[in-house]
Structure 1
């Protein structure tokens, strides 16, 4: 399997799993939290999409979809536009009250940009160091796999919260 096809498939699974987690979900389920320190489905999906947007734009050397396509304005969150949710306090979680359509619109736009970028990289591009602040330094390939891993964990959490919501 070609490296581009492999990465495209991995990122496609994120998109598919998010769509499944949000499918036919009541609006109030998006902001449901298991407890006051837990993340909501809306926050988890917003965060995983922000991470993908931020990190892929970073390795691509491009502007994020969040700012370039007006998603920051559409969401209207009270955070700096650079916020991706990393290390955010639990008090910020209920501030993400986006609708399913808004969350999926942003996710699909980021996914399209990710797939577009993946088609431009060569196998040797995956070895290029993109972040020297870690020991060992992070290559483009490791960064992309890290995004896949992080996003899949968060969509799994969103599916879990949905299950808890539906069973209560």
Structure 2
């Protein structure tokens, strides 16, 4: 029987597989393709899902964010404060996220490696630890980890959809 860590590693591994598939061989012009003027781009979706995973896991485990500690914020040089992870951003903000596929994948892989380290030693008992008192009821580690997993899988699915639309309709 798989343990808690094994199940979470499998789930987060699925985010990694899907993210790699979306970015694999993606022409640079399609990173910022929009299905309409207010839609999210592949670049923004992958950046956002990675920022949320990085931010939320760092907060839950009391570790530094890869974004800041490993220099990704400086490398991306986005015109947002370093703690921004995309919630509430406008279509104009989305348009400002224009990294290369290599940088997106590099930041994702660094964040995924950190997530594997953090998740690898979890036990069932760890999941009940409260990690965020700002909610009623307070958020436990288990709830936070499933929330991040759900959010990331939704966004990588959206990115895959955008890629499919772009490959069929974008001018070559």
Report the RMSD for the aligned CA atoms in angstroms: 0.8
Q: Does 1:12 align with 2:13?
A: yes
Runs of 4+ in structure 1 off by over 4 angstroms are: none
SS in 1 for 2:122: coil
Distance in 2, Cα, partners of 1:26 & 1:82? 29
Distance in 2, Cα, partners of 1:53 & 1:63? 9
1:132 match: 133
Structure 2: unaligned runs, 5 residues or longer: none
Shift of 1:4: 0.4
2:99 match: 98
Q: How many residues align?
A: 168
SS in 2 for 1:79: coil
Moved more, 67-76 or 113-122: 113-122
SS in 2 for 1:5: helix
Distance in 1, Cα, partners of 2:154 & 2:101? 19
Distance in 2, Cα, partners of 1:40 & 1:80? 20
1:44 match: 45
Distance in 2, Cα, partners of 1:120 & 1:87? 33
Structure 1: unaligned runs, 5 residues or longer: none
Shift of 1:121: 2.5
Distance in 2, Cα, partners of 1:114 & 1:27? 27
SS in 2 for 1:130: strand
Contact persistence 2:3–2:123 (CA under 8 A): no
